[in-house]
Amino acid sequence: MKQNYTTPITRKTPTAFVFLLDQSGSMSEQTIYDGRRQTKAEALAAATNSLIDELIDRCRRSTGVYDYYHIAVLGYSGRGICNLLATDGFALPSELAARDVPMQTILRERKTPEGEILITSTNNNRWIEPVAAGMTPMYEALSRAYNMVEQWCNSESYRQCYPPTIFNISDGEATDATDDQLRGIANRIKGLATLDGGVQLVNINLVKTAEECSLLFPSSVEELPEERYARLLFDMSSTMPERCTADILRVRPEAKSGPFRAMSYNTTVSDVVSMLNIGTISLWG
């Protein structure tokens, strides 16, 4: 099977994105995002809402909204696995653009080079709500994503398309599986493919602040701390397509070359945004 990752994203050859959001109880911890103190659940919801708006905007043309992407957002918590955009399966940009969605005002605080505090506001659609409840059924969420993406890849309509990308964003470890079980479901996901390449699994480990050393897109396991969970995420994650290398080097200027692993460790929500942009919007080029 070729691994070119070169099929252009068009109406006839769309791609799919699945976002798995940890909504367990630990996401109620406080963090700093956009210069404001808020819970990790609130920050991740805001970042995801902005990304969904951006993806829809990328699909807008003078003649309408075209379905270049198929989008799913699954929340996993003590409440189970919830599809946050559709009752079942993927949501299409044209369908999302036609919805009457509540708006929210996002305040962003920035410090100018002169030391002045600058506050700006933007209005975003509130596609998903912040949740922080109970345990972390990550294995179940990955299994649900596997079933959705397997069906998508096996559809004759999408066999020629750029393969789907799954983003798993969590601030902790799974409470419903062993390390071996997580490696197993990750390998099953990475074994799925279209004729253009294998499905991408991106694992993002979220922390509260930037006080701890963060690492985005490691090129080797030696870059990671000698911690069991860091090595597990490395094993679970895909190798990023070569077409993303230039964008990765912009956020990792100290790195000399790839290939890079599709993961991050000790990541702030701001870094999550960079990861999501590289895995979604950068593919447009």
Concatenated DSSP letters for 84-110?
SS-SSSPBPHHHHHTS---EEEEEEEE
Least confident residue range of 42-46, 192-196, 281-285: 281-285
Percent of the chain's residues with pLDDT above 90: 71
CB burial of residue 255 (10 Å; 0-12, 13-18, 19+):
middle
Q: Rounded to whole angstroms, how far apart are CA atoms 44 and 75?
A: 11
C-alpha span between 26 and 206 (Å, rounded):
11
> Does pLDDT of 3 surpass 70?
no
Report the candidate in 19, 20, 24 with the shortest Cα–Cα distance to residue 172. 24
The most confident of the ranges 84-98, 177-191, 205-219 is 177-191
Residue 210 in this model has a pLDDT that exceeds 60: no
Question: What single-letter amino acid sits at 222?
Answer: E
Helices assigned H by DSSP within the chain: 40-58, 93-97, 138-154, 179-190, 228-236, 245-251, 269-279
Specify the range with the lowest mean pLDDT, choosing from 15-29, 184-198, 241-255.
Answer: 241-255
Segment 117-139 shows an average pLDDT of: 89
Residue 107: the pLDDT is 66
Rounded mean pLDDT of the chain? 91
Query: Given this model, what pLDDT does residue 120 score?
Result: 73
Give residue 22's pLDDT: 98
Residues 236, 240, 190, 167: is their CA dihedral positive or negative?
Answer: positive
User: Looking at per-residue confidence, does 219 or 110 come out higher?
Assistant: 219
Rounded CA Rg of the chain: 18
Of 62-71, 78-87, 97-106, least confident by mean pLDDT is 97-106
Report the Cα–Cα distance between both ends of the chain, in Å, rounded.
23
Structure tokens at 184: 């197993």
Per-residue confidence (pLDDT) for residue 112, from 0 to 100: 65
pLDDT at 211 (0 to 100): 59
Rounded CA-CA distance 195/209 in Å is: 40
Q: pTM, whole model, 2 decimals?
A: 0.92
User: 205-243 burial by CB neighbour count: b if 16+ within 10 A, else e?
Assistant: bbbbeeeeebbbbbbeeeebeeeeebebbbebbbebbee
Residue 233 has what pLDDT?
96
Max mean pLDDT among 162-171, 241-250, 258-267 falls in: 162-171
- Max mean pLDDT range (20-34, 80-94, 138-152): 138-152
Distance between CA atoms of residues 128 and 67, nearest Å: 20
Q: What is the DSSP letter of 221?
A: G
Q: What mean pLDDT comes out for the span 234-259? A: 91
Instruction: Specify the 3-state DSSP secondary structure of 178.
Output: coil
